[in-house]
Amino acid sequence: MAREAEDAGWEGIFIWDHMIFDPTFHPMPDTWVALAAIAMHTSRIRIGALVTPLPRRRPWKVARETVSVDRLSNGRLVVGVGLGDPVQWEFGFFGEEQDAKIRARKLDEGLDILAGLWRGERFRYDGEYYHLEPVRFRPAPVQQPRIPIWVGGNWDKHAPQRRAARWDGYMPLKWGGDPLSPQQWQDIMAYVGQHRTSDTPFDWVHGGVTPGDDPAQAAAIVRPYADVGVTWWIEAVDPWRFGWRWEDDLNAESARLMDERIRQGPPKL
């Protein structure tokens, strides 16, 4: 699928990072093994996970994984992070921390550790949840000064927006109902902008659906978001857009439909 996406003109392919995301227990690969395979079979396309629940991971293990994939891909990795959801299935089934405030603090500490270890210089850390003696992680990533970090979070919560302002991008998540409107995006951008302390490039990442067989309609859907400054349109290429229920098993037909949408290529303005 990643090779087909690259051939069809997509600029990125991003996969989920879950242990379990629903009580049907759909089959799934390990995210970072899959990204390594994608890195080795593509040459141009951006890759990453949207999003990795960093509070359920050891940050130093994620640092090793992300640097490895960044080097395998020659600097094409984007690291997406968030608290992790649904909390019962991602954390509760394994007896891990479910409290959102604690996970948020672990997320912030984990991000500081990632950035510190990525530098490839001696680094120590003494936080509330994580403690590192002086260590040096080598090699460093291809991308400098570091691998880009996109923060995901519920679109109507200010805490993830403030967190995103410290890093390189924001992907607001909205479940059910109408998608985020361009006007809502303008409000989000204004709030995040108030908390930015750097003038480095920043990505605004929107998830949506466009018809692959109607380029004019696809362009009409995407254009208002581009006009307000959204930089990435993440096309949802999954069975549920085609009518599958969460409880339905995936099969050859669902894979065929996903492949077909990928081959049709991205919306173009």
205 half-sphere exposure, CB direction, 13 A CA radius? 28
pLDDT in tens, the chain (269 residues): 999 999 999 999 999 999 887 778 888 899 999 999 999 999 999 999 999 999 999 999 999 999 999 999 999 999 999 999 888 888 888 999 999 999 999 999 999 999 999 999 999 999 999 999 999 999 999 999 999 999 999 998 999 999 999 999 999 998 777 899 999 999 999 999 999 999 999 999 999 999 999 999 999 999 999 999 999 999 999 998 999 888 888 889 999 999 999 999 999 99
- Read off the pTM: 0.95
SS3 208: strand
Q: Which are the contacts of 86, defined by CB distance < 8 A and separation ≥ 6?
A: 21, 22
Amino acid identity of residue 96, one-letter, is: E
CA–CA separation, 223 and 68 (whole Å): 36
pLDDT value at position 116? 98
pLDDT value at position 163? 98
Residue 200: burial class (beta carbons within 10 Å; 0-12, 13-18, 19+): exposed
Q: Which domains does the chain have, with CATH numbers?
A: 2-147 (3.20.20.30)
Q: Count the helix, strand and coil residues of the chain and give each as a percent rounded to the nearest 5.
A: 40, 20, 40
Amino acid identity of residue 46, one-letter, is: R
Omega prior to 86 cis, within 30 of 0? yes
